[in-house]
Copies of this chain bind each other. A is one copy, B any other.
Amino acid sequence: MFAPIKKQKVAEQVAASLRGAILSGRLKPSDAVPSERVLAERFDVNRSSIREALLRLESWGLIEIRQGEATRVKNFLESGGLQLLPYLIAPDGELDLPLLADLLEIRVMLLGWTAEQAAQKCSPEDISGLMEIISRLEDPGASPETRQKLDYDFFERLVATTKNRVLIFLSNAIRDVYMQQRGLFMTFYQDDVFDPRYYRAVVEALAAGDPLGAGQAMRLQAAVFDAGWWSTSGAETT
A residues near B, CB below 8 A? 48, 51-52, 55-56, 59-61, 77-85, 88, 99, 102-103, 105-106, 109, 113, 164-170, 172-173, 176
Contact = CB atoms under 8 A, between A and B. Distances in A.
Residues of A contacting B: mostly = helix
B109 A77 contact: no
B85 A82 contact: no
Contacts of A166: 82, 85, 99, 102-103, 105-106
Given A52-B52, A85-B166, 18 more contacts: A48-B48, A59-B60, A77-B165, A78-B172, A80-B172, A81-B81, A81-B83, A81-B172, A81-B176, A82-B169, A82-B173, A83-B83, A88-B165, A102-B164, A102-B166, A106-B164, A106-B167, A106-B170
Contacts of A167: 102, 106
Contacts of A59: 55-56, 59-60
The 5 A-B pairs at the shortest CB distance, nearest first, are namely A59-B59, A102-B166, A102-B164, A81-B173, A106-B166
A169 B103 CA distance: 11
